[in-house]
Amino acid sequence: MGLEDRLPEGIALTTVSQAVSWARENSLFPLLFGLACCAIEMMATFASRYDLGRFGAEVYRASPRQADLMIVSGRVSRKMAPIVRQLYEQMADPKWVISMGDCASCGGIFNNYTIVQGVDKIIPVDVYVPGCPPRPEALIQGIMKVQEKIMKEGIKGTNK
């Protein structure tokens, strides 16, 4: 119907927003940092067996300037909180945050004075992955949820 019928072969129509979001969702660059035992599962996720490269997110960047996905993998102590916040602020927009595991999401079993009761008290979180620790499959689903969100929000929604 309409315009598509008149296009030569091999040409597809889309919007800039969709094209940009599609590029973003398929090349997420997570920030390379682990806070506790969840980080072990995170390492397994991007290693050969679970191969996060299938979802375009296997290149972990050690610098927040080059990353656009923060995976908070573990408990955040009150001493660590300013550092996590600073890393988040150093990441360039657009950026997304996964809160991996019970401790990062709500404090988990560490219901005490020294652990921040959920990393969402210091940075905005996009996806929560429950589990103690979550298996790599769960983290992969969390990353896929972030991808869905990227597609839905388009380029306008990312200017936080």
Residues of this chain that interact with other proteins (CB under 8 A) are 78-79, 81-82, 85-86, 89, 111-114, 116, 120-124
Report the residue number, 57 or 127, with the smaller CB distance to other proteins. 127
Nearest to 78 by CA among 46, 108, 109, 121: 121
Least Cβ distance, residue 117 to other proteins (angstroms):
8
Report the residue number, 100 or 116, with the smaller CB distance to other proteins. 116
Report the residue number, 39 or 116, with the smaller CB distance to other proteins. 116
Least Cβ distance, residue 99 to other proteins (angstroms):
12
**Three-state secondary structure along 66-113?**
HCCEEEEECCCECCCHHHHHHHHHHCCCCCEEEEEHHHHHHCCCCCCC
Least Cβ distance, residue 79 to other proteins (angstroms):
5
Residue type, 91: M
CB 75 within 8 A of CB 43: no
